[in-house]
Amino acid sequence: MSDELGDFFALPAYKPEEALVALRRSLRECRPLTEQGTGTPVRFTWRGLPAIELVRTEGAATLSVALAKRPSQRPEWVRRTLASSAEQRQWLDDVRRALKRWDDED
């Protein structure tokens, strides 16, 4: 009986295709980010400077994301691999904090 309940409480599988669509939508709502093009990687700029890159990892159920430490023409990237919805939400919160910090610094 415990095996039957174990599957009932399991988290749903992470679907990177759906996660990429959701992340793009959420990032478009964050001002002043703008999406650049529709290719791979998906890029977002902050006031015309590269700030975020999103890539679906081939052969794995993950997304590779990169957030610039500070937007510039050649930014230093902080890269992460997202493999769950919880990691995705935490990364999006980190992006929002970074946007606020960048606005405060300017």
Q: Do residues 95 and 69 lie in contact, with contact meaning Cβ atoms separated by under 8 Å?
A: no
pTM (two decimals):
0.83
The Cα 5–Cα 56 span in angstroms is: 32
Q: What is the pLDDT of residue 5?
A: 56
Q: What is the pLDDT of residue 51?
A: 93
Using 50, 70 and 90 to split pLDDT, how confident is the model at 74?
Answer: very high
Q: Do residues 51 and 45 lie in contact, with contact meaning Cβ atoms separated by under 8 Å?
A: yes
Q: What is the pLDDT of residue 1?
A: 46
Average pLDDT for residues 62-66, to the nearest whole number? Answer: 92
Which H/E stretch holds residue 68? strand 63-68
Q: What is the pLDDT of residue 9?
A: 66
